[in-house]
Amino acid sequence: MADAPIAHARDGSVRGIRRDGVEVYRGIPYASARRFAPPVASTPWGDVLDASSFGPIAPQVGGAQFQPPELMHDEQCLSANVWTPGTTGRRPVMVWIHGGAFRTGSGASPLYEGTTLAARGDVVVITVNYRLGLLGFLAHPSLAVGDGPMGNWGMLDLAEALRWVRDNAGAFGGDPDDVTVFGESAGGAAVTLLCAMPTATGLFHKAVVQSGAALTSGLSDAVALAEQVTRVAGVSDVAQLRDVPVERILAAQRQVEAETSDRTFVPTVDGTVIPTWPSRAVADGSAAGIPMVIGSNVDEWKLWAAADPHSRDLDADRLRRRLERNLPAESVESLIEAVRAARTARGEPSASNDIFYAVESERTFRVPGLRLADAQASHAPTYVYLFGWGSPAMGGWLGACHGLEIAFVFGNQGRGELAGFTGSGPEADALAERMMDAWLAFVRTGDPSAPDLAWPRHDPTTRPTMVFEAISRVEHAPRDDERAALDALLPHP
């Protein structure tokens, strides 16, 4: 312990560990959680805090892949993990928000291990935990105190985490005036939502949205869901859920999610914490002056194939019925024909299951991401990517699935249990170096271009896109037939 690094944070000193020349501080509390209430900023501690291990993670139903199994689950889960080359200086700060559909995950996943990224870029990397599922996103007017929030507790946690970063970055060698937020899936959605939240204004300066699904609910749906939880949990009023043991809360969440396939516990456009739909807010300039990188993966939806085995043997009729769940029935046949024609022209398989995965990937991730890029492009420099590197998992069938790019951004590809998912070897390493350097260039300058590969700003007409594969390159409007066909069918919130 004699050579363990010590940092002097706002609330007291913390003792970390050294790893490959980087100082690591884990499990630092940035706030305390009060059930169905805004977080309370952390308070000073006395002795030096042992920050050698991750703190508890949010209670959750199920669990995300690549999570350390030994971690405790506790409502007091609001902590930050820091990787820094040193506690002196003023380095750019990168704050990562984990994914998991706002219901699973933590900042402790080995996918997000920040040593390589911090060392390569001479930056401070921070991951955070926030409240998830029912505990993080139950919303109902009876939970509000006066004109205060009635939900979005997990999003309020993230805003509080960014305030903690503002107040503590300097203690870890970071610059509080140069903060980039980045995240994937629900984490990418959270980045977009922070851009629309008045309470987060000024707390970050650049943003990266990786496969940021549009996971947001309207208030009426959220209220109905909260009242359904109340009945399932056996209490007479939503506010009484504050006193229900956490095990019963999770059991109620599990039952409600099983009964309600089209709704779940996600951030709510409540008129207070999130005043309006994030895409509308961004279009109106809520993130003006904040450069953004936005992108998705070619085969996003294939990640869930194992949990949906019948998606792999669809016939034409079942494909049509599946797509009609989320798209206008009268347009589904022409959509199928357009996607099939585009895939066939590129020499890609176009059986019914291939069409299904392509449509769901575009509908859920790529089209919302490109709409966000279109909205932001007139307010700040905006850059778009498409990740096409294929996973070796399932004999290579999994392709460039959801979440695959994360390990490359952090430089953790090919390590341990991740190798079977990401692949390994010189080509994988070269791709990781390319992506890390692009993200780091963006963090430092607001432009992700590398000396040997310029990355043009997004233009809604020509759609220049950085395609990340074994050989990365810029393409204009890649896979645009599918995008255009889906974009014409999806509503604008």
Distance CA 451, CA 473 (A): 13
Which 3 state secondary structure label does DSSP give 294? strand
* CA distance readout (Å), 442 to 286, 386, 407: 20, 16, 18
Distance CA 369, CA 373 (A): 6
Which 3 state secondary structure label does DSSP give 370? helix
Which 3 state secondary structure label does DSSP give 52? coil
Distance CA 300, CA 39 (A): 33
Decide: 323 and 387 in contact? Cβ < 8 Å: no
Q: Of 402, 405, 458, 482, which residue is the catalytic one?
A: 402
Torsion of the alpha carbons at 94, 99, 103 and 108, rounded to the nearest 10: -60
Which 3 state secondary structure label does DSSP give 40? strand
Where does residue 327 rank: exposed (0-12), middle (13-18), buried (19+ CB within 10 A)? Answer: middle
Dihedral of alpha carbons 202, 203, 205, 210, sign? negative
Decide: 180 and 287 in contact? Cβ < 8 Å: no
Give the residue from 100, 82, 108 showing the smallest Cα distance to 136.
100
How long is the chain?
493
Distance CA 325, CA 114 (A): 40
Tokens 């939240």 found at: 197
Q: Of 42, 106, 109, 185, which residue is the catalytic one?
A: 185
Dihedral of alpha carbons 280, 284, 285, 286, sign? negative
Residue 300 annotated among the catalytic residues of the structure: yes
Q: Give the DSSP H or E segment for 283.
A: helix 278-283
Distance CA 114, CA 94 (A): 10
Residue 492 annotated among the catalytic residues of the structure: no
* CA distance readout (Å), 269 to 91, 139, 248, 279: 35, 10, 27, 12
Give the residue from 267, 291, 287, 289 showing the smallest Cα distance to 213.
267
Q: How many CB atoms lie within 10 A of CB 141?
A: 12
Q: How many CB atoms lie within 10 A of CB 6?
A: 14
Residue 185 annotated among the catalytic residues of the structure: yes
Q: Of 160, 300, 360, 482, which residue is the catalytic one?
A: 300
Dihedral of alpha carbons 475, 481, 482, 485, sign? positive
Question: Which residues are known catalytic residues?
Answer: 185, 300, 402
